[in-house]
Amino acid sequence: MRHDHFVVQSPELPARQLLLLFHGVGDNPVAMGEIGSYFAPLFPDALVVSVGGPAPSGPAPGREWFSVQGVSESNRQQRVDEIMPTFIDTVRHWQRESGVGPAATALIGFSQGAIMVLEGVKAAPGLASRVIAFNGRFAELPTSATTATTVHLIHGEDDEVIDSRYAQAAADALLRAGGDVTLDIVEDLGHAIDNRSMQLALDHLRYTVPKHYFDEALSGGKPGDDDVIQMM
């Protein structure tokens, strides 16, 4: 890859799941890898990789996916669209490297990283089976959605960087479009990930049954056993 990454976990046997993490503006893949370390023990068969943004941001080793200098409601989508092919190529690169397909891929992002994972499945439906978006938003709300991806929105109630109303708006838009989404607003939390929001993410990956399972059951299909979910 042209930009940095940090491998949090690489299983001895061929991976059965792929978890990709994406950091916020000015952060880096090693620091975001600490978040990945919470997921790794619960998914021992998963390749867990923290991916760095392609552009420098602030003091080294800070990175970003798109510049936030002068960003506004009128130009945010354009900036996302310009870098989106690189983002999608990055996800597909790790799917090829791991031998894991979209049905067993989870994209996990915080802040700008959450924007990218949400916009990624909007631009490329079915890119991953799960999205966990910590304190993120869509650049522009989606008008279509698919149950191939289950989206988990987790947001601090007191976030002053990306207001929690954007998470509510995202959930409403996905539901209107026929998507599969959960929304958790964490009380007394700002623009951050704490133990409560982390536990919500872990519980959703392990216990929340994707809507497409029910769709497949109605059509006579059978869920694959490599999806990012553990029924316990």
Looking at the annotation, which residues are catalytic? Answer: 111, 159, 191
Q: How far, in Å, CA of 120 to CA of 133, rounded?
A: 12
In the Cβ-directed half-sphere of 10, how many Cα atoms lie within 13 Å? 7
Q: Which amino acid is located at 3 in the chain?
A: H
126's torsion region: left (phi>0), alpha (psi -120 to 50) or beta? left
Query: SS3 helix, strand, coil % of the chain, rounded to 5?
Result: 35, 20, 45
H helices of 21-179, in order, are 29-39, 76-98, 112-123, 164-176
Tokens of 154: 């987790």
**What region does 111 belong to: left with phi over 0, alpha with psi -120 to 50, or beta?**
left
**CA–CA dist 75, 139 (Å, integer):** 9
End-to-end CA distance of the chain: give it in Å, rounded: 36
CA pair distance 174, 81, nearest whole angstrom: 19
Joined tokens for residue 174: 């996905």
